[in-house]
Chains A and B, each alone.
Chain A
Amino acid sequence: MSGLRHRELSQADLREFDYEVSRTKHSANRESKVENTIEDYVVKSEEKRLSKESSSLLRDLLDISPLVQDAAAAIVDDSFLRCFQSQSTDPWNWNIYLFPLWTVGMIVRYLILFPLRLIVLLGGFLIFFILFSAVHAIFKSDRVRRSRWEQSLVQFQCQMFVASWTGVVRYHGPRPVNRPNHVWVCNHTSMIDYIILCAYSPFAVIMQLHPGWVGFLQTQVLNCLGCLWFNRTEVKDRLIVAERMKAHVQAADTTPLLIFPEGTCVNNEYCVMFKRGAFDLGATVCPIAIKYNKIFVDAFWNSKRQSFTAHLGKLMTSWAVVCDVYFLEPQTKLPEENAQQFAERVQKMIAERAKLQVAPWDGYLKYYTLGVKHPDLIEKRRKVFGERIARYIRPQPPPPSPARPPKPPTDAVNGTEGARQRPVSRATT
């Protein structure tokens, strides 16, 4: 029960917990909505306690059981970390005749497949870099032809990447073409999402700038596609990216723009909150859903546990990467929708197609703590406790529950209604 109640609260908080660029525009009404929900939650649970006759200050002071219950519920299980859980592999090599088979498999994968794939990948890189510099030298002034060459080269290299993990990729739906005022959004599992999509049709992408050789490729090579890089923790960077994103989408002759609105890699079982950026552009949104089959390898890149090189190594030593890519029907914002609702609708489409569960969390919570960024959320709950205790030491009788304006019956709920459903089903015993 407590888990349920708990979840409802966190949902609403996190709707608000969105550091998008146009924050200021909506912040006023969104905040009040969130406050309503939290107050509702806190007040309700307090009222429940108050309804029991109690006239003892000491008892009120000591009875912290609801807080302990909430805390314990969060400690034993939370829907946030579930979104970023790698699949654990069950060993199957435990018996006398499976073990030799497994060993043979290991030898084939690590000693035969891996070197071959490495040769393919590095050979690809060699050809790529030679041609890339050649193209730059030859078509110095001819921008159109140069960029056409560059695009096919990047596509070639991405195909080499896919070949290096023996990618078994099935593309469903019409091939995306370059049209102005369109933007493509996709659920995010690993950086290989981008590689898989690019192997089919080149995209410009908005991505976190990575260190090391990935960063080198990003800044030196992918810039030619009009890719935009930023640092996710820098607010200034995000403003610049938002501007350039707008410009990119409106221009007619650019590569299709791909955005991962989750902003972080999720384990392909869940789908975390979509950021509004892509849905605020006024452009038609073309959803893409990618579903990985975990039969040979879990394609989720847990960037906190492994580097991208290690992640690639894992993929290259597996038998194959199996996945389905669905290009879904383009969507436009309905007149009665705001950007957030539009984002939720598209998220639902993608989640349904890729069979993901929708979780309300902002993926950026991976990078900072909710309590630290939003101290007001704790303060709210503290205030209820404080007021309750203060009744005993102040002469005037305070109202039995903290005063708040009467809530409009439907308005405030509307926006968070979808989110109010329990996002993560929890198996009950």
Chain B
Amino acid sequence: MGQALSFGLTQYDVEELKDYCDGRFTQSEIEGLYRRFRALDRGRKGFISSEEFSSIPELSINPLHFRMGQMFNHVNFKEFALALKASSKRASREDRLRTIFSLFDIDNDGILSPADLELMVRQLAGSSLSEEDLKIVVDRALKEANASDAGLTFDDVARALEGSELRMEVEMPVDY
């Protein structure tokens, strides 16, 4: 009985999570995220389904929501926190690049193949780019990076985004 019951995370859990996310979150942020996670997890299943995910109205009108739904499908809290690491204000540039890379890397093989890029650009641009244009765009992009036929590596992506600010920091809910 007591606090542990109502909150569900022990100090030990919080510390483990802090390490798992490389210290990007403070204890109060982890608490806030945990409450948020439990609010999203309607049936108290311990994970979030993609339907619950798309029930967030603001997210459902984001061109990335499909891909995000894929990445966040059936995540438990640990994965949930890790996936949000790049949006912490303590995130490194590397964290943010990794997040972008993994969003593009749909088949999760560590390289952005032309197929990956095509799928993502289709998500991002929708019907405003025709199929032919899409092929040309992907071709051009790969050529610009001097990439091999296999596609873009993480280093290619990092080089291409050099100098971009990559702002993705959000305020974590501490009062949830």
Are A and B a genuine interacting pair, yes or no? yes
**Residues of A near any B CB (own CB < 8 A):** 2-3, 6-7, 9-10, 13-14, 52, 56-59, 61-78, 80-81, 85, 88-91, 93-94, 99, 304-305, 361, 365, 369-372, 374, 377-379, 381-383, 385-387, 389-390, 392-393, 426-429
Bound: A62/B99 CA distance, A: 11
Chain B residues numbered 98-142 whose CB sits less than 8 Å from any CB in chain A: 99-100, 103-104, 117, 121, 124-129, 133, 136-137, 140-141
Q: Is the CB of B100 within 8 A of A64?
A: yes
Which residues on B sit within 8 Å (CB–CB) of A59? 160-161, 164
Rounded to whole Å, the gap between the CB of A360 and the closest CB of chain B is: 10
Please report which residues of chain B, range 138-176, place their CB below 8 angstroms from some CB of chain A when the two chains form the complex. Answer: 140-141, 144-145, 157, 160-161, 164-176
Q: When chains A and B are docked, how far (Å) is the Cα of A304 from the Cα of B72?
A: 22
B90 within 8 A of A: no
- How would you classify the secondary structure of chain A's contact residues: helix, strand, loop or mixed? helix
A306 → chain B, closest Cβ, in Å? Answer: 12
B114 to chain A, nearest CB (A): 12
- Name the distance in Å between B54's Cβ and chain A's nearest Cβ: 5
Q: Is the CB of B58 within 8 A of A382?
A: no
What is the number of residues of chain B that contact chain A, defined by CB distance less than 8 Å?
65
A379 touches B127 (CB 8 A): yes
B63 touching A393 by the CB < 8 A rule?
A: no
* B55-A74 in contact (CB<8A): no
Q: Which residues from chain B contact A9 at a C-beta distance below 8 Å?
A: 58
Show 14 A/B contacts (Cβ-Cβ < 8 Å), sorted by A: A7-B58, A57-B137, A57-B140, A57-B141, A61-B117, A61-B137, A62-B104, A65-B100, A69-B167, A305-B42, A371-B57, A372-B60, A385-B124, A386-B124
- Assess whether A74 is in contact with B39, with CB atoms less than 8 Å apart: no
Residues of chain B lying within 8 A (CB to CB) of residue A65: 96, 100, 164-168
Q: What is the minimal beta-carbon distance from A185 to any residue of chain B, in angstroms?
A: 24
Q: How far is the CA of A91 from the CA of B8 in the complex (A)?
A: 13
CA distance A62 to B144 in the complex (A): 12
Say yes or no: is B9 at the interface (Cβ < 8 Å to chain A). Answer: no
Q: What is the distance, in angstroms, from A266's C-beta to the closest C-beta of chain B?
A: 15
Starting from the known contacts A61-B117, A378-B65, A389-B121, 10 additional A-B residue pairs (CB-CB under 8 Å) come to: A52-B165, A65-B100, A69-B168, A70-B62, A73-B170, A77-B176, A304-B42, A383-B126, A386-B124, A426-B173
- A370: contacting residue among B57, B160, B173, CB under 8 A: B57
B11 interface contact, C-beta 8 A: no
**CA A155 to CA B171, docked complex, whole Å:** 50
Chain B residue at minimal CB-CB distance from A90: B6
Contact, CB under 8 Å: B57 / A69 = no
A62: which of B86, B160, B173 is its contact (CB, 8 Å)?
Answer: B160
Which of A6, A14, A70, A377 has the largest count of B CB atoms less than 10 A from its CB? A70
Q: From A95, which residue of chain B is reached at the shortest CB distance?
A: B2
Residues from chain A with a CB closer than 8 A to the CB of B168 are 65-66, 68-69, 72
Closest chain A residue to B159, Cβ basis? A58
Complex contacts, A13 vs chain B, CB 8 Å: 61
Minimum CB–CB distance from B15 to chain A (whole Å) comes to: 21
